Amino acid sequence: MFLQGKIIELMALQLAPILSENTKQTQPPRLKSTTIDRIHHAREILHFRLDNPPSLVELAEIIGISDRTLRHGFKTLFGTTVFNYLTEKRLERAEQLLRNGGGTVAEVANLLGYSHLGHFAGAFKRKFGITPSECLLGKKSISAS
């Protein structure tokens, strides 16, 4: 019994540094209030230009920060990348348009800046669990994530 206790104690001593490294809370990088305002402005620009968004570098230039700061700040503030955010918003808008009779699948895809109908349809199905055509016909979403 004594020997088992000592073995467990040694194991605990060996594991303690590893466990403390894994449980350390990493604080997100602090952003200046002006940077936060600029990143929020970038998000607004994306909302208004879903059909023809600027590139990441262009967006950073428009708001006056580096593309690296934009990437890291956007992820910190919104929990997603600029590209993923843009894709999500485009798909959400596409679903609204299709459900409300805003055009054919091809028209909606083109309106939102998708140059390949197959890419649009695949992304739409991954997000909503149904094809854009099924959405247009009024079928219920299976897995709106």
By three-state DSSP, how is residue 122 classified?
helix
Render pLDDT for 74-110 as a digit per residue (tens, 0 to 9). 999 999 999 999 999 999 999 999 999 889 999 999 9
Which pLDDT belongs to residue 109?
A: 94
Q: What is the rounded CA–CA span in Å between residue 28 and residue 79?
A: 11
Higher pLDDT, 48 or 7: 48
> 87-136, what's its fold?
Arc Repressor Mutant, subunit A (1.10.10)
Burial class (CB in 10 A: 0-12, 13-18, 19+), 86: buried
Q: CA nearest 99: which of 141, 49, 68?
A: 141
